[in-house]
Amino acid sequence: MSHLFPTYSKWELEPESAKGSYLYCKDGGVYLDFTSGIGVCNLGHCHPEVKESVEQQLNKFWHISNLFPIDLQEKTAEILTNASGLDLVFFANSGAEANEAAIKLARKATGKTKILTFHQSFHGRTFATMSATGQDKIKQGYGPMLDKFEYVPFNDLQALEQQLTEEVAAVMLEVVQGEGGIYVASKEFLQGVEVLCKEKGALLLIDEIQTGIGRTGKAFAFQHFGIKPDIISVAKGMANGIPTGAIVADGRLKEFFGPGSHGTTFGGNPIAMAAATKTMEIIFQPTFLEEVQTKSEWIFSLLKQKLSGNQLVKDIRGLGLMIGIELDMPVVSILEELRKEGLIVLNAGEKVIRLLPSLNTPKEDIERAIAILEKNLNIHAKLTI
């Protein structure tokens, strides 16, 4: 009997080891992992250079507390600020904690409390981030949410214009809604949001937890759209599998996070920073990011070529290597069949297959994955005729 709370309905596979885009499981099977630990291991499993960086730090010290100056925090913060065009970093341990910091900072800096987020958004599982999330299903049974969150239809600038009054502290959004179903924001929408925020004195918070760290072919997804947020939150892919998170914010917010105003014991942990610096040094190289974009174009054209004739496939969408395939049917049983055929993928909502391959997945592995998908979906299409 398991001694774990059953908060996750676990898959039948149990990995024993992992390397690159492959999982080696206890059943002896070798599986192609197109989940990357839910958008975390963007450089693939057990990346040798990240491993070496962590090992070096393991031999120096593991944890000393945020009371000391820590070189690796400064280095990681410099990489994050250089890559984002923002100025100051606070380190957290997870996505939800990063969003908590963003929400606290926005409320304190504006002296206002109302925050607008979007339908089918996902921002985390703590009280504030669960309240920020625009999906009722994760809130059931928990009683009253944190006050002052309001939800707006995604990609609907007119609706936002109506709800975005002078009382609003911040607008918080994902450039590509991940958990909600891989919905990509339009350029007009994002640019409009930025203008409206400025007009009404609201901060623009972009949740880059799933979209950041090269996932969409830029360091951060907002950079595709020529906008500048006030705060971004980062986590998942930041240290290629070692837990960490951060917010990166505009320098004019400095005074609102002064001594004693916010904190966390583990935030900026040296082991996590060693992994984060190496991960981001590799991913933020312009040639690396260009390759992600080229690979993305190639995958989307291959997917369209192989799947768009299938009558179960309603839409193929996404940005970079964050890909959604919307079907005309629930996908849970399909995910299980795909695993039996050697391919591990995620869902996003009920009817969307979500692909989050590591950013350096070789082309032949991608071709194999798409062939497995094509074969499976063709069988289902025949069954439904």
Ligand X SMILES: *Cc1c(COP(=O)(O)O)cnc(C)c1O
Annotated binding residues for pyridoxal 5'-phosphate, as ranges? 95-96, 122, 207-210, 265
Which among 12-20, 53-61, 206-214, 287-295 is the span making contact with ligand X, rule CB under 6 A?
206-214
Which one of residues 175, 235, 239, 289 is an interface residue with ligand X (CB under 6 A)? 235
In the complex, minimum distance from the CB of residue 215 to ligand X, in angstroms, rounded to a whole number: 10
Which residue reads 């774990």 in tokens?
Answer: 4
CA pair distance 262, 78, nearest whole angstrom: 20
- CB closer to ligand X, 174 vs 365: 174
Around Cβ 223, how many Cβ atoms within 10 Å?
Answer: 19
Interacting residues of 250 by C-beta distance below 8 A, sequence separation 6+: 86, 87, 88, 230, 231
Q: Is residue 352 within a helix (H) or strand (E), and if so which, with residue range? A: strand 352-355
Tokens coding 253: 């917010």
Query: Can you give the C-alpha Rg of the chain in angstroms?
Result: 21
Applying CB under 6 A, among 73, 210, 240, 358 the residue interacting with ligand X is: 210
CB atoms within 10 A of CB 82: 12
Tell me, residue by residue from 116 to 155, as one string, x for binding to ligand X by CB under 6 A and - for no binding: ------xxx-------------------------------
88 vs 173 by CB, closer to ligand X = 173
**209 belongs to the binding site for ligand X (CB under 6 A):** yes
Instruction: Give the nearer residue to ligand X in terms of CB position, either 113 or 135.
Output: 135
d(CA 327, CA 377): 9
175 binds ligand X (CB under 6 A): no
CA–CA dist 323, 346 (Å, integer): 10
Residue 33 CB, nearest approach to ligand X (Å)? 17
Nearest distance, CB of residue 185 and ligand X, angstroms: 13
Whether the Cβ atoms of residue 268 and residue 65 lie closer than 8 Å to each other: no
Contact set for ligand X, span 176-195 (CB under 6 A): 178-179
Contacting positions for ligand X (CB under 6 A)? 94-96, 99, 122-124, 174, 178-179, 207, 209-210, 235-236
